[in-house]
Structures are given as C-alpha cells and as structure tokens.
C-alpha cells in the first residue's frame, strides 16, 4: 500500500524535501511527499501542501514539517458509553429513586419531624442498595468529542518553532555558493599585440580555472564592453581552463581584458570569480643599422650594428654576394648593439 502523505499544491522560492534515508531534493508543484519525509522552506520561500485527506497546510519561509503515515489507525472522534448496571439504565431512562423505589430501597423510615426543640433536622439515607448510584444533574454529561487524528507506531514526534528550526532532527539549508578561481594567460604569449597579430582575424585568449569549477561552467570575456562567451574545458592532468577566440580589431582597440567564471552547485547556489590582464599594442617595426665591415683580407669578417629592438630580440642578416645568398642571426645585446661573425667565407 502507498505511504503517500501530501502533494505540493503551490510554492514560492525554493522548497526542499529530506527522505527517511537522508537524501535531500528540491521539489516543485505536483511533487508528492511520503510518510517520514521532512519538508523545508528556504529563506523567502513558502509552500502549500494538500494532505491525503484533502486538508491543506501552509509553511512560510524557513519552516519545516514532517509527514506522518496516513494509513495508521485513526482515533475515533468520540465514544458513547452505555450505562452498565440495571439501576444505571433506569436512571438514564428518567427514574426518580426517591419516588419509584420501595421505602426499603429508598432508605429507612421517616425521621423525626424537623423544627423540634434543639433545632434538629431530617435526612434521607440510602443503605444496602448493592448498586452504584450516579446522580443526574440537569443534563447528560457525556465526554466532549474531539476530531480524529492518526497515530504512528514507534515514531518520535518532532516539534518545530515558528522560525522553522526543529527541536530535533533539523536540516540546515545549503546557501553557500561555490568557491572559484580564474586566471588569464599572457595575451599572444608576451602581452604585446604586434602588427602581424593585429592583421589576423582573431586572437585566441586562454586561461585556467580552479577551486570548485567544473567542466561546462560558463566563461565570459569582456573586451571594452564587447562580450565573448565560452565554457570550461579539461586541459589534461586534472587541470581546467578555457580557450576563446576574440576579434583582433577589438583587441587592438583596448589595453586590458577581463574573464569571469560562473558556476552553480546542486543546491542552486551560484558562485563567480573575475580576473583581468593588461596588455599593449605595438605595430611599429624596430630600426636596424649595419656598420659595413672594413675592407681587409679577412674572408669571414665580423658584422656589427645597432637597433632599437628590445634586448634579446633576434637580428637576421641576409648576405648577398653575386648569385650566392645566405643568412646569419644574432641576439640584440645590452645598449641596442649586435655582433655576428660570418661563418661562410666571402669570395
């Protein structure tokens, strides 16, 4: 037989039910509640329950109610007790024992007259009736009837306050949002947008996420008010991150980009985290000068020069002699100088 106790008739906000096994679930209109389950409303929530007998129960915010089994024995509204002895039955029928019974049953012979000297008084005595006498005073005093209610065997009642906190067996709603982290990798690898990168249609922005982030969480990039959307992906080795292409034209128009992650947990709580990263745009080519080597008999001379390229940049020299062409490379040194000795002899 079903242990159905109530159904969600209507609700506002979030309402949760904890089963007898301790499993907590969110419920909606039309969901059923079964015996032993506990209904809990969240902050700002409320619910109307329709019982199996057709009655309704309303719970406000931060309230709880535990369902009972509607199939247990129902206590009768009231009980009518029939008179026990024959004498009680006669009294219930309206008999007056002082009139209808024989004098021996009603008491001893008449006493002395009242008002005699000494201020005496008369009395009526009942003796040897061998029966119980229940006096009837004006109306029948049957017990007051009470509405019937259900009893559950071996069930400890839980008493709840009006604030929704139960004296025993309470469940605290989960209102803590997920904790998240997010970071943006260097834009184009060096945080500098050059002319070649600016000339491409898109530039891919990458980064990493952590904390309680999970695959599929929402990622939003903000580039001067221009929004680009993506999701969290697995990067391998347990790491999570994102990879979202953006317009190179938008990237070249600003000098900072931000990324925001949004994630919801099983209870519906939403957590967010945001990070930003500055970058620069440089589309001016560096200036390079070459000092012509002195004319000597050295067929592998050293070529030197200057440049305004950053220290560590690579200078590539193309040597052309007649129909022969070859290249040499060298790094830019401190002070903007470079120096390279030819390894291929000149003719």
What pairs with residue 327 in β-bridges? 318
According to the model, what pLDDT value does residue 75 have? 38
- Whether 58 and 159 map to the same domain: the answer is yes
According to the model, what pLDDT value does residue 48 have? 94
Between 233 and 104, the more confident residue is 233
**Pick from 68, 50, 59, 55: nearest CA to 16:** 59
Residue keyed to tokens 């009242």: 114
Q: How confident is the model at residue 205 (pLDDT cuts 50, 70, 90)?
A: very high
According to the model, what pLDDT value does residue 135 have? 57
pLDDT tens digits, one per residue of 169-195: 678 899 999 999 999 999 999 999 999
- Whether 160 and 189 map to the same domain: the answer is no
Q: Does 318 map to a domain?
A: yes
The pLDDT of 5-23, averaged and rounded, is 92
Q: How confident is the model at residue 56 (pLDDT cuts 50, 70, 90)?
A: very high
The pLDDT of 241-254, averaged and rounded, is 97
- Whether 158 and 34 map to the same domain: the answer is yes
- Whether 98 and 236 map to the same domain: the answer is no
Q: What are the structure tokens assigned to 325, written together?
A: 């062409």
- The span from the CA of 340 to the CA of 131, in Å, is 136
- Whether 230 and 256 map to the same domain: the answer is yes
- Whether 159 and 302 map to the same domain: the answer is no
Question: 104: which DSSP letter?
Answer: H
- Whether 315 and 333 map to the same domain: the answer is yes
Q: Does 18 map to a domain?
A: yes
- Whether 322 and 306 map to the same domain: the answer is yes
Q: Is the pLDDT of residue 79 over 70?
A: no
Q: Does 346 map to a domain?
A: no
The pLDDT of 318-333, averaged and rounded, is 86
The pLDDT of 162-172, averaged and rounded, is 61
- Whether 163 and 34 map to the same domain: the answer is yes
- Mean pLDDT for the chain? 80
Q: Does 133 map to a domain?
A: yes
The pLDDT of 72-99, averaged and rounded, is 57
Contact 213, 242 (CB under 8 A): no
According to the model, what pLDDT value does residue 122 have? 47
Q: Is the pLDDT of residue 214 over 50?
A: yes
According to the model, what pLDDT value does residue 263 have? 97
Q: Does 347 map to a domain?
A: no
Q: Does 33 map to a domain?
A: yes
Between 278 and 136, the more confident residue is 278
Between 89 and 9, the more confident residue is 9
pLDDT tens digits, one per residue of 102-114: 665 444 444 444 4
pLDDT tens digits, one per residue of 303-313: 898 998 889 88
Length of the chain counted residue by residue: 347
Between 323 and 305, the more confident residue is 305
Q: Does 207 map to a domain?
A: yes
pLDDT tens digits, one per residue of 262-283: 999 999 999 999 999 999 999 8
According to the model, what pLDDT value does residue 154 have? 59
Between 73 and 249, the more confident residue is 249
Q: Maximum distance among all alpha carbons in the chain?
A: 174
Q: Does 304 map to a domain?
A: yes
Contact 188, 203 (CB under 8 A): yes
Residue 264, judged by CB atoms within 10 A of its CB (0-12, 13-18, 19+), counts as middle
Domain that holds residue 105: 83-141
Q: How confident is the model at residue 7 (pLDDT cuts 50, 70, 90)?
A: very high
- Whether 125 and 1 map to the same domain: the answer is no
Q: How confident is the model at residue 253 (pLDDT cuts 50, 70, 90)?
A: very high
Between 228 and 97, the more confident residue is 228
According to the model, what pLDDT value does residue 139 have? 52
- The span from the CA of 90 to the CA of 108, in Å, is 22
Q: How confident is the model at residue 296 (pLDDT cuts 50, 70, 90)?
A: low
End position of a domain, from candidates 235, 256, 281: 281
- Whether 185 and 264 map to the same domain: the answer is yes
Residue/partner pairs of 154-160 with CB below 8 Å, 24 or more apart: 155/68, 155/69, 158/38, 158/66, 160/63, 160/64, 160/65
Spell out the alpha helix ranges (H) of 95-163. 97-100, 103-106
- pTM > 0.75: yes or no: no
If one counts the domains in the chain, the total is 4
- Whether 44 and 17 map to the same domain: the answer is yes
């Amino acid at each position: 037989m079903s242990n159905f106790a109530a159904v969600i008739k209507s609700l506002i906000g979030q309402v949760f039910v904890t089963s007898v096994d301790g499993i907590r679930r969110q419920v909606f209109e039309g969901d059923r509640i079964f015996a032993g389950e506990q209904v809990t409303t969240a902050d700002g929530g409320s619910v109307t329950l329709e019982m199996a007998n057709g009655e309704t129960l309303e719970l406000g915010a931060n309230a709880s109610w535990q369902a009972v089994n509607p199939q247990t024995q129902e206590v009768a509204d009231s009980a009518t007790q029939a008179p026990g002895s024959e004498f009680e039955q006669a009294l219930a029928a309206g008999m007056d024992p002082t009139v209808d019974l024989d004098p021996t049953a009603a008491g001893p012979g008449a006493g002395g007259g009242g008002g005699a000297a000494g201020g005496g008084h008369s009395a009526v005595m009942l003796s040897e009736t061998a029966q119980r006498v229940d006096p009837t005073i004006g109306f029948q005093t049957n017990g007051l009837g009470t509405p019937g209610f259900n009893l559950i065997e071996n069930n400890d009642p839980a008493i709840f306050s009006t604030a929704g906190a139960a004296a025993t067996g309470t469940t605290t709603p989960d209102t803590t949002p997920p904790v998240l982290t997010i970071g943006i990798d260097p834009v184009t690898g060096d945080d500098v947008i050059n002319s070649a990168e600016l000339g491409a249609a898109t530039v891919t922005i990458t980064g990493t996420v952590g904390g309680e982030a999970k695959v599929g969480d929402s990622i939003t990039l903000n580039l001067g008010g221009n929004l680009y959307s993506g999701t969290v992906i697995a990067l391998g080795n347990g790491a999570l991150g994102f990879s979202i292409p953006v317009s190179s034209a938008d990237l070249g128009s600003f000098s900072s980009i931000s990324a925001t992650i949004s994630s919801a947990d099983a209870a519906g709580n939403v957590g967010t985290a945001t990070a930003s990263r500055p970058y620069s745009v440089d589309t001016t080519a560096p200036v390079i000068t070459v000092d012509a080597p002195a004319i000597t008999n050295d067929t592998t001379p050293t070529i030197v020069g200057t440049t305004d390229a950053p220290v560590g940049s690579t200078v590539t020299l193309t040597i052309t002699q007649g129909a022969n062409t070859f290249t040499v490379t060298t790094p830019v040194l401190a002070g903007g100088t470079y120096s390279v000795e030819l390894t291929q002899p000149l003719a």
